[in-house]
Copies of this chain bind each other. A is one copy, B any other.
Amino acid sequence: MNFDLDDEQRDLAAAARDFLTDAASPADSRAALDDGAPVRPGRTALVESGFATITVPEAAGGGGGSVLDLAVVAEQAGRVLAGPSLVTFARAAVLLAGDHERLAALADGSLVVAVVDGSGPVIDAAGADRFLVLRGDDIVLAGGRATVRDAIDPTRGLGDVTLADADAEVVAADARLRWEHAERVGRVVLAAEGLGAASRALEIGVEYAQQRLAFGRAIGSYQAVKHALVDVYVQVEQLRSLVWWAAWAADQAPDELPLAAAAVKAASATTLEQAAETLVQVHGGIGFTWEHDAHLFWRRAKVDRFLLGDDVDAYDEVARLAVAQVSA
């Protein structure tokens, strides 16, 4: 039994953390809200760092790594509310599998792509000019126009996309299963970003509870505050276990991925939301000011829960799969 990151993955996490804490911070999220400043690190820097395309084969200029490797990086990205999302790169890498040229374009940054689902906001629509979409059972790459809209969390680059059909090329025919696999991998990476955001929110809350005094002692000594933070801690560690499992399943056990991806999507939504609400509440008055970072995590939580299907649908899917499993 070795259900743990290995040394290489720990090194990867440390390197990603170094890069990302330099390149992005919640303050950038605030700046994006204030005056529409671009999200950070931004597509170019992310691609250049190599972290975004870890799952692209080395031959195409990527990192040749696993989904678990990417999840390890995504956790670090979540901690600083980085954008664009690694979800976009993860899905594109799966959808373009085997297409050396386009993968190389993804890895060198010349293909600026977003993935368009049936309806709902498109993640990282901002700046994208090519769009991956499922048409019938074919995976298609099309041009189009993205209309970015004010989102509760600006770092997700959410927008509506109007596709230019004239421009569409089939990337993979009869590939519905691949599309679904890509979506599941996307859920795993989204959850890993959620894990990072939730665990950072917990850290900030714990630090404040250790320092802030009320009635002559640190507020973290009061059970109301202490237990609220502990409940978040427990959830965060539970989520970490699910993220590792789901990423491992994406790499090693495709049969387990549907259940794992639905479970981790749901758990991530619930955990990040509770972590962010607790972060605001623990900080009292300061926690709901614009200048404090708490609401930036809260915004991420309020948005992420609806991405790649919402939490309610994900729980429903878990139950359907669980029932199907025992009925089989």
A227 to B227, CA, bound (A): 12
Q: Kindly report which residue of chain B lies nearest to residue A225, judged by CB atoms.
A: B223
Counting chain A residues whose Cβ lies within 8 A of the other chain, the interface size class is under 10
Q: Kindly report which residue of chain B lies nearest to residue A224, judged by CB atoms.
A: B223
Q: Looking at chain A's contact residues, is the secondary structure mostly helix, strand, loop, or mixed?
A: helix
CB of A222 within 8 Å of the partner chain: yes
A201 to B222, CA, bound (A): 26
Q: Kindly report which residue of chain B lies nearest to residue A227, judged by CB atoms.
A: B224
Render A221-240 as a binary contact track against B, CB cut-off 8 A, 1 for contact.
01110010000000000000
Render A179-197 as a binary contact track against B, CB cut-off 8 A, 1 for contact.
0000000000000000000
- Residues of B near A224 (CB, < 8 A) are 223-224, 227
CB distance from A59 to the nearest CB of B (A): 56
Chain A, 193-224, CB within 8 A of any chain B CB = 222-224
CB distance from A214 to the nearest CB of B (A): 12
A224 to B224, CA, bound (A): 6
A222 to B225, CA, bound (A): 12
Q: Kindly report which residue of chain B lies nearest to residue A222, judged by CB atoms.
A: B223
A327 to B223, CA, bound (A): 45
A127 to B28, CA, bound (A): 73
